[in-house]
Amino acid sequence: MQKMIVVKSTVGLHASLAAKIVKAASQYSVEILLHYDNKTIDVKSILGLMSLAVPSGENVIIEANGDQAEAAINEIAAILS
């Protein structure tokens, strides 16, 4: 399952936002990936998220598969938007 999200934080994907995403993602037993600018990272990696340096207004794709995929994607989407 995939979902495209627009990063709405005025400063983009920064450290505290990345920490919130990692905390939320860690509650789920599924692999959750974020795709941006031809790069793919595991959203449970704070360094991976921060290395993307996604600016405000950019589209990212969140991908997960499994029983908890939809709930995980929706929670992370809510944090980003």
The half-sphere exposure of 48 on its side-chain side, counting CA atoms within 13 A, is 14
Q: Indicate the SS3 state at residue 58.
A: coil
For the question of residue 35 being annotated catalytic, the response is no
Catalytic residue among 3, 12, 14, 50: 14
Give the DSSP H or E segment for 54: none
Q: One-letter amino acid identity for 52?
A: L
Contact (Cβ atoms closer than 8 angstroms) between residue 34 and residue 54: no
Active-site residues, by number, are 14
